[in-house]
């Protein structure tokens, strides 16, 4: 197809970037992600472009449409502002 792939946005969540298609997070990915620190469920905070842990409150950044699920990269959580 001329080097272009068809992308279905049916199961994706837009993270609000101007570069549509590159900043989408698949809903199925969100369902299987867990906080690496406490293993609890996470949710998407679209306006802040963060993945937020429902239990410990750590906020993981999303860079170039990819969730950075590293404890050292998280904001907040126990003992952190």
pLDDT per position in the chain (81 positions), as tens? 444 444 444 455 554 544 443 446 888 999 999 999 999 999 999 999 999 999 999 999 999 989 999 999 999 988 765
On whether the pTM is more than 0.85, the answer is no
**Is residue 79 assigned to a domain?**
no
Q: What CATH number does residue 35 fall under?
A: 2.20.25
pLDDT, residue 68, reads 96
Q: How many domains does the chain have?
A: 1
pLDDT at 20: 40
**Has residue 3 been placed in a domain?**
no
Give backbone dihedrals phi and psi of 22, rounded to 5 degrees, phi first.
-90, -20
Question: Based on the number of CB atoms within 10 Å of its own CB, is 45 exposed (0-12), middle (13-18) or buried (19 or more)?
Answer: middle
Range of the domain at 54: 12-73
CB 34 within 8 A of CB 55: no
Q: Tell me, yes or no, whether 53 lies in a domain.
A: yes
Distances (CA, A) of 29 to 49, 60, 78, 81: 15, 14, 25, 27
Is 61 a member of any domain? Answer: yes
Is 4 inside a domain boundary?
no
Give me the pLDDT at residue 16, please: 52
Evaluate whether residue 19 is within a structural domain: yes
Question: Tell me, what's the pLDDT at 24?
Answer: 63
């Amino acid at each position: 197809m001329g080097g272009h792939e068809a992308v279905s946005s049916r199961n994706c969540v837009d993270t609000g970037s101007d570069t549509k298609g590159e900043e989408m997070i698949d809903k199925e990915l969100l369902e299987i992600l867990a906080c690496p620190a406490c293993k609890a469920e996470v949710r998407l905070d679209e306006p802040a472009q963060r993945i937020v842990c429902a239990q410990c409150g750590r906020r993981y950044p999303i860079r170039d449409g990819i969730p950075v699920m590293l404890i050292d990269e998280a904001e907040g959580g126990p003992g952190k502002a």
